[in-house]
Structure 1
Amino acid sequence: MLRLLQHRAPSGERRVIAVTDAATGFVRGATDTLGLASEATARGTTLAEVVAAAGLEGSVDPAEELAAGRLLAPIDHPDTAHLALTGTGLTHLGSAEGRDKMHKAAAAGDTLTDSMRMFLEGLEGGKPTPGAVGQQPEWFYKGDGTHVVGPGAPLTIPAFAQDGGEEPELAGVYLIAPDGTPRRIGFCLANEFSDHVTERHNYLWLAHSKLRQAALGPELLVGDLPADVRGTSRIRRDGAVLWEKPFLTGETNMSHSIANLEHHHFKYALFRRAGDVHVHFFGTATLSFSDGVRTQPGDSFEIEAAPFTLPLRNPLIAAEPEPVAVTSL
């Protein structure tokens, strides 16, 4: 199993760390994950084969580099406008429960909320047979590469936001090949940071609630994702654990297959523009907000899950108000 991590030395020099079953080291000549993925695409080979051909050099301990603050998000793009952050919701078994609590006020009597209807449709048709098209999921846009936050970096609550809550998830990372084919680079841990108070006020504000930063874990897992992924999400306040809960992901615990979620994202030609990078969040069923937790600046999020060996930790801060004025030309 291959893992890739992006490293930046105090001098500013960037390199890529590769962790294989046999060795850990810097990929010779590589400065970023995108460059390696682009080379694999150009050669018509796999990322693992490109890394093996380049070879590894030096000695490095990823855990030590993470603790020292020298690991970046596992993917980025030199032109942030060409990296898209998107996601799908109501994709996990049990994921409708928290959403339904938020939206129940919109339902009368025994009428199902829109969220519950969408969840049930996904449960019935979200895992089609290979080659078939299944039920489309809820979809949302989070931003471009400027919204990517790396391990250890702060997640920022905008001054206009009503909440800043965690969503422990997995994300798929993709590069669009020159012929428009989406190529999956790998998977990473993620905190799909959202404003749940805004969403709860009116589910039609979901789009507003998702336009936030998102944190990506340090490791990019190249290859197949285990079907059953189990982890822990926690919040610390003043050094003590405020809230902690296990979370489940991977296809065993999902109402949609990853292939179905990928199809319904990349079916749009807009998302198959050559050279673009996509980070797509697959959803979660575990939120501290559903348990009545309200985060505040100074809190710290922690997400960990095997097969990833390193955690994703991010402190929470608040932004200063930014005046917005529209003027005529």
Structure 2
Amino acid sequence: MFLSQLKTGGVVVREGESARLIPGATIFGLASEAIAQGAGLADTIPAGGESVDLPALAAEGKLDVPVRHPEPARMFLCGTGLTHTGSASTRNSMHAKAAEHVSDSMKMFQMGMEGGKPAPGTAGVQPEWFYKGPGTEAVAPGDPLVSPGFALDGGEEPEIAGFYLIGADGTPWRIGFSLANEFSDHVTEKMNYLYLAHSKLRPAAFGPELLVGPLPAHVEGRSRILRGGEVIFDKPFLSGEDNMSHTIANLEHHHFKYAPFRRPGDLHVHMFGTATLSFADGIQPRDGDVFEISSPQFGLALKNPLRTAPDIGFAAVKSL
């Protein structure tokens, strides 16, 4: 089952080729109700609803991020890197200063390969972790990914994201998974690995569809960049645990083991990493370029144009 959220309210439920609209509902509200009732998400979705053309809704820009918190400050966008079996070479080439030097990225990757898939119910090695921002930075399908004026780069990262709502007793509940574009500044990151935190403080896009249920062990997709309607970058990407150095459960544990991330009622969106970057191929995205991330296992493609905001200049602080 797939769910999509309309910007104006209403949830689209897709099973197979048919899609129906539940007017006035939100996926956040349905998930909250499911947790309160101790029921599955599918059990809280009302029957009926008019048939709708989901691709047409997406083309018209009517679909939102699959799940939003009504209070954006209570929505946390975070992620983990160096989690995929092909990710180390790209990051090592960005961070190694000499051929004989093993970067911290490569060391972190190797730690994951050796200890990122522990026995079920046990904790393995902790991954790299980063914070992207609050819910204000969650971008809907079709809307622009805005790069700040001071940025040195604005590049895509095709990923899978998990959406989690914290229950009244502090238990994290996974709502589902969607495609994500974990938009980052790779030029800044390449300058020094300690700039990783700066490079990640950017918006990210999610959707259009939320997969309810377990993540497939093997996910195949494509990452493309279009410029003036012409494809300038096109590569496959792989995800799912068969292509990862960590289990999803291990990544979830190392995020939610921190008490501030288990506050009842908060919403978390966690991105699980990638091994495919156009930056590694020397691509420099420009304003107007369109990022397109797709996977048949996740329904409709996630498309977002790039736009650069004016530079605000020196961020002066005033004294009260």
Fold conserved (TM > 0.5)?
yes
How far residue 14 of structure 1 moved from its aligned partner, in angstroms, is 1.2
Match of 1:140 among 109, 122, 130: 130
Secondary structure of the residue aligned to 1:243 is: strand
Whole-Å Cα distance in 1 between the matches of residues 278 and 48 of structure 2?
A: 41
Asked if 1:247 corresponds to 2:241, the answer is: no
- What's the counterpart of residue 308 of structure 1? 298
SS of match in other structure, 1:96: helix
Compute the TM-score of the two structures, normalised by the length of structure 2: 0.97
1:205-284 alignment, distance < 5 Å = 205-284=195-274
Work out the CA distance in 2 between the residues paired with 1:93 and 1:109. 20
Counterpart Cα distance in 1 of 2:283 and 2:18: 42
Q: CA deviation at 1:30?
A: 4.4
The CA deviation string for residues 161-184 of structure 1, in whole angstroms up to 9 with x for no partner, is 000000000000000001000000
Match of 1:86 among 78, 89, 96: 78
* Gap runs ≥5 in structure 1: none
Q: Which residue of 2 aligns with 1:183?
A: 173
- SS of structure 1 residue aligned to 2:195: helix
Q: State the Cα distance separating 1:132 from its structure 2 match.
A: 1.3
Which runs of no fewer than 5 residues in structure 2 stay unpaired? Answer: none
> Is contact 1:30–1:36 with CA below 8 Å preserved after alignment?
no
Q: How many aligned positions are there?
A: 319
CA distance in 1, matches of 2:105, 2:18: 46
Question: Aligned residue for 2:31?
Answer: 37
Helix, strand or coil: the match of 1:207? helix
The 4+ residue runs of structure 1 with deviation greater than 6 A are none
Q: Secondary structure at the match of 2:100?
A: coil
Contact 2:18–2:51 at 8 Å: present in 1 too?
Answer: no
Give the 3-state SS of the residue equivalent to 1:18 in structure 2. strand
Tell me which residue corresponds to 2:192.
202
- Matched residue, 2:114: 124
Offset, 1:110: 2.8
1:101 maps to 93
Q: Secondary structure at the match of 1:146?
A: helix
TM-score normalised over the length of structure 1: 0.95
Which whole-Å CA distance do the structure 1 matches of 2:299 and 2:164 have between them?
Answer: 22
Q: In structure 1, what residue type is equivalent to 2:4?
A: L
Q: Which residue of the partner structure matches residue 25 of structure 1?
A: 20
Partner residue, 1:61: 53
Query: Residues 66 and 109 from structure 1, CA distance in 2 versus in 1: closer, same or farther, beyond 3 angstroms?
Result: closer
Moved more, 71-80 or 87-96: 71-80
Determine the structure 2 residue equivalent to 1:75.
67
- Deviates most, 317-326 or 158-167: 317-326
SS of structure 1 residue aligned to 2:114: helix
Distance across 2 between alignment mates of 1:73 and 1:195: 22
Q: Which of 13, 16, 22 in structure 1 is aligned with 2:11?
A: 16
